[in-house]
Chain A
């Protein structure tokens, strides 16, 4: 997942959490970047027609931005589910964040053929727990380490 998609996914989730435009500060906090870096990327997303930024209000995704953000969130959910239920990784949230930059959506689609994802995905994503609300962590991890 490239950097732009990681931003879109984050803005989408922050918008849902804040129930309105996402503030640059919240976006920067969620991505652990400086507000200047966040502003720079938000500018690029605006140029590409994926987001709109209104001073003092915050960032809102356009319809195209929402579509891409939802795809990115779905890819992220697949990675979390795969780590938790196939590889039995306990720290699946932290690992999913570490690996998301390296896992492409085509790769995630293949991994999706062996996990049991709910049809409502990615609406089931819960920002509070940072995981899919329907994700049941495997009781008997297949991994031995």
Chain B
């Protein structure tokens, strides 16, 4: 077994870029799944869920762009999305939710997972004294804004689930 440093914090541009790439893939998963849900049950989809999924897809695309812009500042190549998208598409059938409750629950998991990811990432960056190529304030400001939007997403889905 290779020796590791316990609770290692983010120490380099490359590590930061990799974590931002993981964020992009998570956003890609949210976007792809929202589109699939939308297409998969479109005949019976009501306006409220339709609007929720459309908003989620749009917000994920926006988050992805912001993360890409941060990665661009680090001088590291980003992830080619068409290939990730086909991968997410190919896997979707095995894990797709069966009904409206499932769709909402899946959406809640998406938002909660994204929130947790950004929260951990922000904490790790705050705990690190590494110097990154991009401005630290801009990095943290962007990630905190995205985290806030994910928290709002969790509240919105929870509110719809409780009401229905």
Q: B-contacting residues of A (Cβ < 8 Å)?
A: 2-3, 6-7, 10, 13-14, 17, 29-33, 37, 82-83, 86-87, 89, 93-95, 97-104, 106-107, 109-111, 113-116, 127, 130, 142-145
Given known pairs A86-B84, A107-B113, the reply for A97 and B26 (CB within 8 Å) is no
Flag whether B151 is at the interface (Cβ < 8 A): no
Main secondary structure on B side of the interface with A:
helix
Q: Tell me the bound Cα distance from A102 to B8 in angstroms.
A: 8
A106 lies within 8 A of B116 (CB): yes
A31 lies within 8 A of B110 (CB): no
Closest A residue to B3 using CB positions: A32
Residues of B with C-beta under 8 A to A97? 2, 4, 8
A-B contact pairs, 12 of them (CB 8 A): A82-B22, A86-B84, A97-B2, A98-B8, A101-B124, A102-B120, A103-B120, A106-B109, A107-B22, A110-B113, A142-B83, A143-B77
Interface locus among B13-21, B37-45, B130-138: B13-21
Residues of B with C-beta under 8 A to A2? 7
Q: Tell me the bound Cα distance from A109 to B15 in angstroms.
A: 21
Those of B1-58 within 8 Å (CB) of chain A: 1-11, 15, 18-19, 21-22, 25-26, 29
Residues of B with C-beta under 8 A to A113? 29, 88, 91-92, 95
**Known contacts A102-B19, A110-B26, A114-B25; 9 further A-B pairs (Cβ under 8 A):** A10-B1, A93-B2, A95-B15, A97-B4, A101-B7, A103-B117, A104-B120, A106-B112, A115-B91
Q: A-contacting residues of B (Cβ < 8 Å)?
A: 1-11, 15, 18-19, 21-22, 25-26, 29, 76-77, 79-80, 83-84, 87-88, 91-92, 95, 109-110, 112-113, 116-117, 120-121, 124
A142 lies within 8 A of B6 (CB): no
B76 lies within 8 A of A3 (CB): no
Residues of A with C-beta under 8 A to B120? 102-104, 107
Residues of B with C-beta under 8 A to A32? 3-6
Residues of A with C-beta under 8 A to B92? 113
